[in-house]
Chains A and B, each alone.
Chain A
Amino acid sequence: MESAKSVMEPVAWILQMLTGLIMVVLVTVHFYVTHMISHDALEYSAVVERVSSPVFQGMYALLLLVVSFHAFNGLRAIVLDTNAGMRSRGTINVLTTLMFLVAFFYGLYLLISI
């Protein structure tokens, strides 16, 4: 039976809760801005204009960070719930962390280059 000190698991659990809470706030703001302020908020030019403002860029970068972390940490937890996943725990941890980083940096690149 494994008894090694695991720092990753508790930290990942706390971050999963924190990112969940931040997502609730940011997704609400996103939803409000895109659907409730004006009918044209989803037109291409409006989206480009909004996303090029530093405040929105900052907000979307943060949303991207928390969503990518939450998604891939969630995926990690689901895979580790299985015998096969648990057997290759190290690989799963590395792979999902890499997927999180790729998703975040690729999204960031798109956000900045818009």
Chain B
Amino acid sequence: MPEAAAPPIDDVRPLRKLYRSGDGRWLGGVARGLAGHLGLPVIWVRLIFVGLFTADGLGGLLYAAFWFFVPLGVGGVDAQRPPAAVTAETMPDGRRRLVARKPDKGQLVALLAMVVVAMVFVSNVDLDGSTKAYVVPTLLVAAGVALVWRQADNARRARWMAVGRRRRTLTIARSAAGVLLVGAGVSGIFVLQGSAAHLGAVLQASLAVLVGVALLAGPYLVRMMQDLSEERLMRIRAQERAEVAAHVHDSVLHTLTLIQRNAESASEVRRLARAQERDLRAWLYKPEGTGKDEDEEPDTLAEAVRRSAAEVEDKHGVPIEVVVVGDCPLDERLTAQMQAAREAMVNAAKYGGEGGAVQVFAEVEGETVFVSVRDRGPGFDLDSVPDDRMGVRESIIGRMQRNGGTARLRMVPGGGTEVELEMERTATT
């Protein structure tokens, strides 16, 4: 399921802040961010920047300023819709990975226009010869700075999205290339100002200054980085502790209080304890990011089975043990099967609950989904149920048959009843 790396967007946005777009950006994501903020098509914004660029390079300066000051964020064009430039696919463990970056047409057009305009600009700008010589080094510096900034953006973004580790060498190479370009541009300017004869001296001097600065500031910088990362770690830990404490407080302590107050009612105590146990298990053992709110509709089979079992257990106070093997998305037929299974669980809890826990087993095997609901109650004979009692016949057997599945009721040799439901999945695309 490709989806954009966007947090869920509330219906009400308290304040629209301008962010640079992290997705589908060409350079710094400025145009996308602005476009999203102003509600214009991206291509317009890009063209406006290009147009402004002809005005003595104002566009370039503006763009750089935006890039420098506007924070990278998730904004820009409709964050719900995945931009064409990035397809993030969610891996099974819930982490997202960038799959491919194919530039869309708009970006290509904008880029071409930009190159053309830059050429025209460089050749047409009416400066006297001495100043004109500075254009190329300046452009070099700009390109270098853009490269380095872009790299920094990527690094930040990778942290958010847990992008599959790109090769470090590439990162370093990019940054180095940027630094080289900047260096070349700056040296060019120096050389133009003085003359080629001084180049060696200038380079030596600048190198000496750089080494000196590194020696002076290096240890301090390193220590600062370490302190920062340590502080971040502590903050994360504190947050997690707070989250655990909040959860325990909200649910577990609450339930324990209720249990003490209902101590004389064994069935109520059992029900409370089971419900709390389920809740805590779901919270503890669910992989990150799959936690769902109670009121959301389940969309996979395993979830649906567990949900039904939990509801029946709560309502009838009979423990239901659930074992699920494999999993698959719910479709129309399986939803019908789930309803039938739920009905079977209700029957098992109602009429076979004294025999102990009800055992529910669901298995997805290829195209077939099998569900069994088994109780250890006194058992019953379908033929002896009067015709006006529609429960089993209609809501279990009839429902399965209407949807192309089968339902079987049988008496188990060791006592109790078992309902077996089998359904072929709808052919998936």
Question: Do A and B truly interact?
Answer: no
Residues of B within 8 A of A (CB): none
Residues of A within 8 A of B (CB): none
